[in-house]
Amino acid sequence: MEYIRLMYKSSTRIIAIILGVLIFSQYLSAQTLPKEELVFLTSAWKGERFADGRPKVSDALVERARKIGIEEAWQILNNEGYKNQFEGNWKMVHDDVPVVGRAVTARYIPSRPDVEQQVKERGQAQGRKGNTNA
């Protein structure tokens, strides 16, 4: 239990970024966004990027994520404001195998605090008011 608490405290931001980037970066593997727009929307990412601008999460971080339980991961994401990064009603086929990796989002990117902040700041600079779709 102490291990989980320590891990939770020290890894909150890292896990949120890792999971968010994993989900978001693979969605863009068949991207239609220009590289500049992608870099702008994911400007919170300070690490390496693929040639097309997608954030490149290291294999080492993906491996570290294997040691984190799903409940801890979702709690960390929720605490960091990532309230819409969940897809429910999945059925476990092999509950003894950790499922970690780069995911693909097929159609819909839910609201994310890091992306929303960038869009709102740009909109404000352009004189726009309201939410990100205003």
pLDDT in tens, 3-38: 666 555 555 556 656 666 656 555 555 557 788 988
Q: Is residue 96 part of a domain?
A: yes
CA–CA separation, 55 vs 104, rounded Å? 14
Length of the chain: 134
Tell me whether residue 131 is in a domain.
Answer: no
pLDDT of the residue at 48? 92
Give mean pLDDT, residues 77-84: 84
pLDDT interval class at 119 (50, 70, 90): confident
Domain containing 75: what range? 2-109
Q: C-alpha 21: how far from its chain's center?
A: 4
Separation CA 115–CA 86 (nearest Å): 17
pTM for the full model?
Answer: 0.53
- Number of structural domains (the chain) is 1
* 68 domain residue, yes or no: yes
How far is it, in rounded angstroms, from Cα 119 to Cα 41?
Answer: 7
- Work out the pLDDT band at 91, boundaries 50, 70, 90: confident
The mean of the pLDDT values for the chain is 76
Fill in the DSSP letter of residue 66: T
> Is position 70 within any domain?
yes
pLDDT, residue 9, reads: 58
| Cβ contact 28:38 at 8 Å | yes
> What is the per-residue pLDDT for 4?
61
Residue 115 counted as domain residue: no
Q: Is residue 98 one of the residues assigned to a domain?
A: yes
In a domain, 127, yes or no: no
CA gap 19, 6 in Å, rounded? 19
Residue 130 in any domain: the answer is no
For tokens 């320590």, what's the residue? 6
